[in-house]
Every structure is written in structure tokens, then in C-alpha cells.
Structure 1
Amino acid sequence: MTPTYAYAASDAQSKLSPFEFQCRELRANDVQMEVLFCGVCHTDLHVARNDWKRTVYPVVPGHEVVGRVTAVGSDVTKYQIGDLVGVGCLVDSCRTCPSCEEGLEQYCENGYVATYNGKDRQSGAITYGGYSTQLVVDEAFTLSVPKNLDPAGVAPLLCAGITTYSPLHQWAVGPGKKVGIVGLGGLGHMAVKLARAMGAYVVLFTTSPSKVEDAKRLGAHEVVISKNPGEMEAHTNSFDFILNLVAAPHDLNPFLQLLRRDGTMTLVGLPEHNHPSPQVFNLILKRRRLAGSFIGGIAETQEMLDFCGEHGITADIELIPMEQINDAYERMLKSDVKYRFVIDIDSLRK
């Protein structure tokens, strides 16, 4: 194998810096890919800085990966050299538990293997992610990228796209449904695009009046300033589904009150501290549901990519060279990006 060049964090305090490693030798079902683009997810920052106290250093982040196949193992049937492929948050799972057998590998009862900072099920080696020039991944966890889409704009679909598509799909968002999206960032802008493409009536909730016009550009039919009690009250008991993407702890009750009878609010943001407990009356008296959702399985992620190909959907991105990643992390903390950073990995090769 040729050397793989990457950027890695060596400890929780250090900035990401150049790093070199060897990808594993191809196994029978492996796909080797030249990485072209890698999205920058907030999870990358959390793991690099050990915010969740689980990081194994050195860590090479990156789980929104688009690349081109350069070699395949002897038993690979899905891909051939030259194919444009993607890798998301998972690179393996036990494949035998009930969740895996249902195509829900993200809920693997024996623990899925994360694209980075995971442990390879065969060798025990720690996995390295897409801030690197190449990856080797089992074909079962490799995805086909629609040829009509900009590959740089596809990269964030592998996390931000599936994280929002999965709950929208699970709760049957479509024509005739009124859907609320809470928060307009990397996840929120994808949720607006996807819900609109599914045929729903889409309302974006934000605390920032400056985001109103952009939300409408992305596809929202209405925008509600959630700090305005009058605007919120006007939508009481009217939503079929609300997708709440805000990771900061906040009061869920004002949004629960907007759900109609049998409506559902699903949380996907991971707060540092728990949200205040919602009032039980807001759930019981309208048979409302408060739910959660976590990324998506491989089959559903492929379904999402195909849907985006059919509707011409990609992320709004800012393309950066690898050497700007540390500045990008600081800007991401300030929400200073519309709406997702994507690394041009060719800058790393140079």
C-alpha cells in the first residue's frame, strides 16, 4: 500500500496537523478509494477535542466522504475501479443482530464501527476517517454517488443528509403534511430542502430574523421567529411533524404545543446537557409523541442519495483546502458557515 496522508489531532488541546499512516491491505470484500472531498461535521470537532471523553489519539476525523474507487478486493461485486462512491458514519457492524438484519446498522446491538475513532472488528485497529487521501472500506458500507450531482456538495449528505432524511422518512413526511424544522444550520438547511422535495408544507423555526430570506430560498414556505410568542401561538395544534435539530439545551414545551393530536417531534441534536424535562400534560392531552433519531442505515442512506439525485439536491457548501481546517473549526463554533465546510482533499495531496 502507498502511504496515506492525513490531518490528525494528537491530543485534546492540539490543532489538527499533518499525519501519515498505512491503510489496511485489501480484504476480499474491500473497496479502496481515493478521497476527493470530505465534509466537516460538528462531531469531528467534538471527537478531536475529546468533548465526549471517548477519543483515542491520534484521531483522523471525517465521515462525510466522497471518493473514486482505485482498487477492489477479490470478492467485490458492487463496485469497480473508477466508480464514484461515498462513505458515511459507519464502516461495519455485527451484521447479525435484529437491528442489523433490518438494515438499521446504526442501532447495532453489538456496537457499530465508526468511520473514525472506531475499532476494526477483525484487527482491533483504530479506524481513521476522511481527512485523508485514501480509505479502505468494506463494500457493504460503501455507497453509490449519483453521477448528476456535484461530488463536493454530496459529501455532507453522508451525515447531515441522512440524519435529517431518516426521521422525515420514518414519520412519513409528504404531501398534505405540515412540517416544522427547528434550527437553520448544517442539518437544518438539508432538512428544509428534503422536506420540501418530499412535498410537505415546510415551516422553519429560527431565533434569528437575519435567516428568514435564506430559509425561504432553501425551500421553507414560512419562517417563524421562535422568540416571538405571537408568531408561535399562531401555529398552535397544527403540525403533523417537527424535526428539532438544535443541540443546545432548550425548553421543548413551546414546540410540543404546536403539534396537532398524534403529532410527533423528533430530536436529533446531541446537547452537552439534557433538555429540561417537558411537561407531561403537553404529551398526554393530545397523544403527542417525543422521539429521537440517529443517522441512518446503509440501505436508507443509499435511498437518500438516490432521492437527492432525482431531485437535484446537494448541500450548500464552502470548499476549503486542508490547511484551513483549524480555522474552519473556530468558525464552525461561531456558526460562521453557510452551511457546511467541505475539504478539497486534492489540497492535501499537493
Structure 2
Amino acid sequence: MAAPPNVPAMAAMEAGEKVSVWNYDLKPEGENDVTIKITKCGICATDIHMINNAWGFSVYPLIPGHEIVGEVVSYGSKVSGFQKGDLVGLGCLAQSCEKCPKCTTQQRDNLCPELKFTYFHTVVDETGEFQHRGGFASYIRTPASKVLKIPEGLDPAEAAPLLCAGVTTFTPLNEFSGNTGSLKGKKVGVIGPGGLGHLAVQFAAKMGAETVVIARNEAKKDFAFQLGATGFLVSESKDDMEAAARSFDFIISCISGGELDVHPYINLLAPYGTLHFVGIPDKPLTLDLMTMMFTRRSISCSPVGSTQQCRDMLEFAAKHGVKPIIERFPHSKAEEALEKVRSGKIRFRAVLENDLLSDAHAEKSGYGQ
């Protein structure tokens, strides 16, 4: 079944507004496009920032969502490698130049100077310019170069958060392994076993690292071991932190917001150890370089990975059984799901399951009339 020209979605009409049903026209299908019937879409904290225009570049009406899973329903004349009915995903990346070294030989299209994100940007192709929409919708039409096949063995709803949270945590760990997927003999710390961290723990453990969860108290100790951690460290215990000093090869910080004193974590690093951020504190870091200079320690950070890194992550997750812990919501209840994410009560990723094409919602929205 081909996509209709006008489709229902859940959109914020202005900054800070609740999402509600809104119909929009799909762009014409270009020769390099894939059209996807969306069945699942994860919710990320970025969606909330974009709804609120927290970064100043949101465009309304805004359809959020960049953890998209669905079925191919059609594709353009120059598209190869896909068939109708294929289970596919689309993450944060919508378009890049496909010509620069980052896009070609280096396979790091997430660093392309012309990168366009899934619902941040206007995308240009042979059909013209169009505002790329997100996954809180029933269909999406998008350049095929960023569309990923979902490997067998991954539940579609569980695959959705992997397209952002999964690749965000997998990529720095895999790069630290030399892109081998093996961290045997390395000691890895994960700060914060929440929405990002519970995936980082699984990836590090499945890569064979001695994996230690670092948290403020022991509330999540049992949970950490269930995820595969081999150790647990209470950051508010001075004795525990001193005992673990200079022992970690790599620490990944998965907490966002608030204010963070990095020096207790830097002191945990062995010589040449790295403290890596995938979550960003609200306030700039204050750094005493003397804590790093004579041990050759480093601080780094990264956003999502490239299209190829996302493929690698999906294959690794399917092979090793890495799964996000999710709560499922009907797509039409997107605002309820967003509120649970806002409140911090979600455990640990929210996933929308599309009901926007049901008869009741089609009639309510005027779809098909």
C-alpha cells in the first residue's frame, strides 16, 4: 500500500505547546527517497528541547521524533538495497553531501559540514526544498542513504531507542576498542545507569570490559549487576573513590543537566585514561589541568554516531542481546509519554506505537476525507 499524499501526525503548533493531531502533505517522492510507514518511534529528551525551542532553531508546526522504525512502502528509481515490506529505521541523520571525505572514505557522515538532521533542517533534493519531519507521524519520506535495515532478532519497539541512545553510547565505547568490539582487559566506568547509561553498561559488558557502574548511592546497585556490571562504585563515598583511584581506562558519563565537579572522576582514571561525555551538564565544566597533565589523562565528548556506526551498533545489539528497557504508549498518547519523560519517571525509554491510521483517529483528524 503506497503512502497517501496527506498523512496524520502529532505536532506542536507553537513553542511549548502540547502535541496534537495535525495532517501534513508528504513531499513528492524523489528518485533517491524511501517512503516508510512508521510503526514505532522512540522519545528522546531532544524532542522536548525542540518542542520548547530551547536551542532557538525549531520550526513550527514541529513533528518530533528521530528514533523511527517502520516498513518500506515505496522508493525512488535510483534506490537499491530495499524492498517493500523491509523493516527499517531512521535515526538523527536525514541528509549529508555524500561527496566529502567524511561521507565517503571515512564513513563519518555525522561530521559532514552539510549535515541535515531529521527534523531540525530544510532538506534539498531534485524535487525542491522541504522541511524534513520527524517520527511522531504515520509516514515519513526521506533520503535512502540514511535509512537502516533492522537486523533480525531485534524487536521493532526495542530497536527504536537504539537509533539514538544506542548509537550514542555504543560509538565511543567501540572507538575506544579500536573499532574491534572488544574491551577485554579494560576497566570501564559508567556514570548514571539511566536512559543512556543502562545501554552503555550493556554494551561495555558485552564487549568484555570490567564494567563498573558509578552512582551517587546504592539504590541502583542490584539493577547495575542485572545489566551485566561487574562492579559498583558509590561516588559520594570518599573511601570508595580513593580506593578506586587511578584504575579506570575509560569512563563514560551518561548524565545530563545539573552541575558536575569532574575532578573526582578524573582522579579515577589510570594514566592515559579518558573521561568521555555523552550527556552534558547545564553549566560549563571547571577544570584543573594539573589533575590531567602528569598522567596524560583526557576528556572528550560525542553526540550520535554515523550511519555506518549505527549499522555496526544494530548488528552488535542483535548479536549480543543488548536491549533498552522501554515503556510503550499509543502514538495518539504522545503527550502523555512526553510528560512522563519530562518528569523523569520513565523507565527508561518511551516508545510510541502508531495508532494514527486507526478508523477513530482518522475520522477525528479528517484523514481520508
* CA 61–286 in structure 1, closer or farther in 2 if over 3 Å, else same: same
Unaligned runs of 5+ in 1: none
Within-5 A mapping of 1:41-56: 41-56=44-59
Pairing partner for 2:184 from 159, 171, 175: 175
Which residue in 2 is equivalent to 1:194? 203
Which residue in 1 is equivalent to 2:43? 40
How many Å separate the matches in 1 of 2:141 and 2:323?
Answer: 25
Which residue in 2 is equivalent to 1:141? 146
Aligned residues: 347
Letter in structure 1 aligned against 2:261: D
SS at 1:137 equivalent: strand
Q: State the Cα distance separating 1:208 from its structure 2 match.
A: 4.2
Kindly report the root-mean-square deviation, in angstroms, between the aligned alpha carbons of the 2 structures. 1.3
Which residue in 2 is equivalent to 1:280? 289
Which residue in 1 is equivalent to 2:166? 161
How many Å separate the matches in 1 of 2:129 and 2:263?
Answer: 44
Work out whether residues 204 and 211 of structure 2, in 8 Å CA contact, stay in contact via their aligned partners in 1: yes
How many Å separate the matches in 1 of 2:138 and 2:169?
Answer: 28
Which residue in 2 is equivalent to 1:271? 281
Higher alpha-carbon deviation: 184-193 or 316-325: 316-325
Q: State the Cα distance separating 1:144 from its structure 2 match.
A: 0.9
Within-5 A mapping of 1:47-196: 47-101=50-104, 102-110=106-114, 112-122=115-125, 123-172=128-177, 174-196=183-205
Summarize deviations over 1:59-95 as a string: whole Å, max 9, x none.
1000001101111111211110011000000010122
SS at 1:348 equivalent: coil
Within-5 A mapping of 1:320-335: 320-335=329-344
Letter in structure 1 aligned against 2:123: D
Pairing partner for 1:339 from 344, 348, 351: 348
How many Å separate the matches in 2 of 1:13 and 1:46?
Answer: 9
How many Å separate the matches in 2 of 1:19 and 1:274?
Answer: 38
Pairing partner for 1:212 from 204, 210, 221: 221
Which residue in 2 is equivalent to 1:12? 15
SS at 2:123 equivalent: coil
Which residue in 2 is equivalent to 1:252? 262
How many Å separate the matches in 2 of 1:257 and 1:100?
Answer: 37
| % same residue | 36
Unaligned runs of 5+ in 2: 359-369
TM-score of the superposition, structure 1-length normalised? 0.96
Which residue in 1 is equivalent to 2:361? none
Which residue in 2 is equivalent to 1:348? 356
